[in-house]
């Protein structure tokens, strides 16, 4: 083949992009929208034709429509009654986020989008870039309109989030809707405070602690609960079971060897047999001399079992060490709230060199940490007593692992960047040729859209939606938090940081490797040439690419991610397999039939007809009204310790929703088309999650209340999303704003003003305090803290 022919084959097709504005990396957005719409329509048809009929016993079309309408009209109180306060709060935040983003969509579509399209005069060829703020030239007076729009966006978002806080603050009580007389609300958490840091000796003798609180709050203390070190108890039981199993195996081996020796004595006494017996005797003597015989191991195991039984006996007799935690139950909510406020005030105003009374010194008052107690069903009781040193080491290891993941192997974007840098180092000429082919491929056809738009977003979506949350959830469990709420808050913070770093920060660094970018920024004040690299991050080309990539990710998440959740394939597959594994004879027993109709409680007959179509399952929360303490059929018990069961990963879905909210807020003025997509995401997800909560993730006996800390963390991150929006606008105005930098200065002032705004207090509302009953009207016998902190064991089983 001639060199000319070879050159003609290697040369890329002719392509003439604008010299100043290269084509966007993802190509045309319309192909991605069409592909995502086809995928969402396929999932929706599969849901309507297959899964919906499977969930409800193949009813007729009218029954299906009735059930879907019942889901649509389900109120927050009914959601809380069926699914618990966590679900009610989750759906409430999604609904309020939808309202906030719809309001911002009006601003973006009515004002910001026409301003970018009509008032911009920057030389830009790409149609999508005309809709972004990049269409307005740098330093244009029209950017002042965007500054005022920024102020309006902040005001609307802040008012919406504050309204959300006002609506959700009441959900931390009882049934998730603030109804103090709900019959399912038998938890005494609202009357209880939790104290950490007390001496461990108080578990066996809590008289001084009771005396202290009776003296400080006379006549207001109902009960004081000081649990034992249940973490050590759990380890003792596991170790005792292991030792007992080893003893059984060794005893069986010794008995088998004795039988074998007796049989060998009756065999022929030839020379070979005598030699073999002598060798066995010599080997047995040597092993016995070294102490490796089964009898010696059996003796040591018996001694170890005696030691373990002695320690277990201390728990049985109430002489074991405590967990360093106490629960103080007051007779009314006001006193509990006042106690928390008093101890926090004392801790803040503690003077240096203060002399403590003798009783406070004995109780270790200076090291106390007092907070409202979480519900007893939310506590990992087998984590009580875990050492602070071990907890600190675990969290340091987890955070170190997270930082390493963020820096080196955090996302497909980082992998693509590393491969691109490595290829250029190996063969720069080949990379230049590949880049020309790549530029031609971007604007060629729909096939390029699939390769360059759809697949990268699906790859990022799968890694962020399945792989990364699973890994971060496991890391949060490894930290061994005291409550489910604490574990969820830790996982939520890790996931949000991970997602935002991947979708925003690494997108800014994708043009160059992470190491070289850090080095360039480090030399910024020494070499003015390197400082131009930072300006490129806010150039029209880069900003349009960043807006387009974020819009592409939002479209993929909205149409494909939520539609995938609508199918809920994992619970569906488990339910189908469970039906196939059931014994046919068990179907004859009414209690074993999963879809056995419930019996209505006369007290709940006044509830509207929503309850009948929703409650097709045999589980009925109304049957819990007369339960005293805890029921093993309701609360899962693992080795007699209460282990909270999570049917729905709230941390993962909160993190993903917050990531979408943050992206929508940050790019709301940069690319107004992002806002309606984000609003549609929350509206679509609200309907899908409501259906899944009512029919897929409902749990019999799900706790009616929670401590509200996960909700508070979510609301706090939503406020930070507004701060991220202001920081992004500050960076834009500092690079593309007016020459006097007034826009950047005013944005910085607005940022400080917003940061200094007082947050809502976490106190109880006066109307709720007046309607609250006393603890005597709720508790008849032991409190749930006493029941769960005293696990029931067959102590005779652990005695030899």
Average pLDDT over residues 122-151: 82
Average pLDDT over residues 134-159: 90
- Closest to 484 (Cα-Cα) out of 640, 646, 630: 646
The DSSP element (H or E) to which 321 belongs, if any, is: none
Contacts of residues 335-344 at CB distance under 8 Å and 24 or more positions apart, as own/partner, are 335/217, 335/220, 336/190, 336/191, 336/192, 336/193, 336/372, 337/763, 337/764, 337/769, 339/193, 339/217, 339/370, 340/193, 340/370, 340/371, 340/372, 341/763, 343/368, 343/370, 344/370
Class of residue 663 by CB neighbours under 10 A (exposed 0-12, middle 13-18, buried 19+): buried
Greater pLDDT, 322 or 349? 322
What was the pLDDT predicted at 393? 92
- Closest to 533 (Cα-Cα) out of 548, 519, 521, 547: 521
The DSSP element (H or E) to which 371 belongs, if any, is: strand 369-372
CB 95 within 8 Å of CB 686 = yes
Q: How far apart are the first and last CA of the chain?
A: 90
- Closest to 566 (Cα-Cα) out of 702, 688, 454, 719: 688
Class of residue 7 by CB neighbours under 10 A (exposed 0-12, middle 13-18, buried 19+): exposed
CB 748 within 8 Å of CB 741 = no
HEC assignment per residue over 225-263: ECCECHHHHHHHHHHHHHHHHHHHHHHHHHHHHHHHHHH
Using 50, 70 and 90 to split pLDDT, how confident is the model at 4? very low
- Closest to 663 (Cα-Cα) out of 556, 504, 466, 537: 504
Using 50, 70 and 90 to split pLDDT, how confident is the model at 551? confident
- What is the phi/psi pair of residue 741, to 5°? 60, 25
What confidence tens digit (pLDDT) does each residue in 631-651 have?
Answer: 333 333 334 566 677 778 888
Between the CA of residue 372 and those of 376, 521, 623, 776, what are the distances in Å? 12, 46, 29, 19
Using 50, 70 and 90 to split pLDDT, how confident is the model at 347? confident
Buried b vs exposed e over 484-514: b needs ≥16 C-beta within 10 Å? bbbbbbbbbbbbbebbbbbbbebbbbbebbb
Greater pLDDT, 533 or 396? 396
pTM of the model: 0.77
The number of CA neighbours under 13 Å toward the Cβ of 712 is 14
The highest-confidence range among 249-258, 574-583, 698-707, 723-732, by mean pLDDT, is 723-732
Reading phi first (left if > 0) and then psi (alpha if -120 to 50, else beta), residue 199 is in beta
What was the pLDDT predicted at 590? 39
Greater pLDDT, 406 or 134? 134
Question: CA 24, CA 439: separation in Å to the nearest integer?
Answer: 9
* pLDDT tops 80 at residue 148: yes
* pLDDT tops 60 at residue 365: yes
What confidence tens digit (pLDDT) does each residue in 453-503 have?
Answer: 567 666 766 777 777 888 888 888 899 999 888 899 999 999 898 888 877
Measure the CA angle with vertex 14, ends 12 and 15; round to 5°.
Answer: 110
Greater pLDDT, 494 or 346? 494
* pLDDT tops 70 at residue 430: no
What confidence tens digit (pLDDT) does each residue in 674-699 have?
Answer: 999 999 999 999 999 998 888 887 65
What confidence tens digit (pLDDT) does each residue in 280-290 have?
Answer: 777 767 766 77
Question: CA 86, CA 172: separation in Å to the nearest integer?
Answer: 9
The first and second tokens of residue 21, run together, are 């504005």
Greater pLDDT, 17 or 136? 136
The first and second tokens of residue 299, run together, are 């003796």
- Residues of the chain with pLDDT > 70, as a percent, come to 63
Greater pLDDT, 463 or 561? 561
Measure the CA angle with vertex 473, ends 470 and 475; round to 5°.
Answer: 110
Pick from 291-300, 440-449, 537-546: least confident: 440-449
């Amino acid at each position: 083949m001639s060199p000319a022919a070879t050159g003609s084959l290697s040369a890329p097709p002719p392509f003439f992009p604008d010299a100043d504005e290269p084509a966007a990396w993802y190509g045309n957005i319309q192909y991605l929208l069409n592909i995502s719409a086809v995928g969402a329509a396929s999932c929706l048809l599969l849901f309507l034709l297959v899964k919906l009929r499977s969930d409800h016993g193949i009813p007729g079309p009218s029954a299906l429509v009735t059930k879907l309408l019942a889901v649509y009209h389900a109120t927050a109180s009914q959601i809380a009654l069926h699914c618990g306060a966590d679900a009610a709060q989750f759906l409430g935040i999604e609904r309020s986020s939808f309202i906030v983003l719809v309001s911002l969509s009006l601003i973006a579509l009515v004002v910001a989008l026409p301003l970018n399209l009509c008032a911009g005069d920057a030389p830009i060829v790409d149609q999508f870039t005309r809709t972004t703020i990049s269409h307005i030239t740098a330093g244009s007076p029209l950017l002042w309109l965007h500054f005022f729009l920024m102020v309006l966006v902040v005001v609307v978002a802040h008012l919406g989030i504050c309204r959300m806080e006002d609506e959700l603050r009441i959900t931390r009580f009882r049934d998730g809707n603030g109804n103090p007389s709900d019959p399912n609300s038998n938890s005494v958490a609202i009357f209880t405070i939790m104290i950490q840091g007390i001496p461990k000796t108080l578990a066996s003798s809590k008289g001084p602690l009771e005396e202290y609180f009776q003296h400080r709050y006379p006549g207001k203390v109902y009960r004081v609960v000081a649990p034992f070190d249940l973490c050590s108890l759990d380890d003792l039981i596991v170790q005792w079971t292991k030792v007992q199993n080893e003893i059984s195996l060794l005893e069986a081996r010794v008995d088998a060897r004795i039988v074998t020796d007796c049989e060998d004595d009756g065999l022929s006494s030839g020379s070979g047999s005598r030699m073999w017996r002598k060798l066995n005797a010599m080997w047995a003597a040597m092993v016995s001399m070294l102490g490796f015989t089964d009898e010696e191991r059996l003796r040591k195991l018996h001694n170890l079992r005696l030691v373990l039984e002695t320690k277990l006996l201390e728990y049985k007799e109430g002489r074991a060490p405590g967990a360093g935690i106490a629960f103080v139950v007051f007779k009314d909510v006001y006193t509990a709230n006042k106690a928390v406020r008093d101890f926090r005030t004392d801790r803040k105003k503690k003077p240096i060199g203060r002399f403590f009374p003798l009783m406070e010194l004995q109780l270790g008052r200076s090291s106390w940490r007092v907070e409202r107690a979480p519900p007893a069903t939310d506590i990992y009781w087998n984590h009580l007593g875990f050492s602070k040193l071990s907890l600190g080491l675990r969290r340091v290891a987890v955070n170190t692992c997270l930082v390493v993941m963020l820096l080196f192997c955090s996302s497909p974007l980082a992998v693509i960047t590393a491969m691109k840098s490595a290829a250029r180092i190996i063969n720069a000429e080949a990379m230049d040729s590949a880049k020309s082919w790549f530029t031609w491929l971007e604007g060629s056809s729909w096939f390029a859209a699939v390769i360059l738009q759809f697949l990268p977003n699906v790859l990022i979506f799968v890694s962020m939606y399945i792989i990364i949350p699973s890994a971060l959830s496991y890391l949060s469990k490894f930290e061994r938090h005291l409550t489910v709420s604490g574990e969820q808050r830790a996982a939520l913070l890790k996931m949000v940081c991970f997602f935002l770093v991947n979708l925003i920060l690494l997108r800014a660094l994708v043009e160059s490797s992470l190491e070289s970018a850090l080095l360039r920024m480090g030399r910024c004040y020494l070499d003015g040439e390197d400082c131009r690299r930072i300006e490129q991050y806010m150039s029209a080309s880069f900003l349009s690419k960043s807006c387009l990539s974020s819009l592409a990710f939002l479209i993929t998440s909205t149409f494909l991610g939520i539609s995938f959740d609508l199918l809920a394939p994992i619970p569906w597959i488990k339910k189908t397999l469970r039906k196939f594994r059931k014994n046919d004879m068990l179907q004859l027993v009414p209690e074993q039939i999963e879809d056995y109709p419930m019996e209505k409680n006369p007290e709940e007959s006044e509830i509207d007809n929503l309850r009948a179509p929703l409650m097709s399952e045999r589980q009925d929360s109304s049957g819990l009204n007369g339960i005293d303490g805890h029921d093993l059929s309701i609360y899962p018990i693992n080795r007699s310790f209460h282990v909270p069961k999570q049917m729905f990963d709230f941390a993962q879905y909160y993190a993903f929703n917050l990531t979408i909210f943050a992206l929508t807020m940050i790019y709301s003025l940069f690319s107004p088309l992002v806002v309606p997509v984000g609003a549609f995401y929350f509206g679509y997800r609200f309907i899908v999650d409501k259906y899944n909560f009512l029919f897929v993730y409902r749990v019999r006996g799900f706790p009616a209340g929670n401590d509200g800390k996960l909700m508070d963390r979510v609301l706090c991150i939503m406020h930070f999303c507004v701060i991220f929006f202001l920081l992004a606008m500050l960076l834009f105005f500092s690079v593309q704003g007016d020459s006097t930098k007034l826009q950047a200065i005013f944005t910085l002032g607005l940022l400080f003003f917003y940061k200094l705004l007082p947050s809502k207090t976490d106190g109880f509302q006066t109307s709720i305090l007046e309607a609250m009953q006393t603890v005597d009207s709720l508790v008849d016998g032991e409190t749930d803290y006493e029941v769960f902190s005293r696990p029931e064991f067959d102590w005779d089983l652990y005695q030899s």
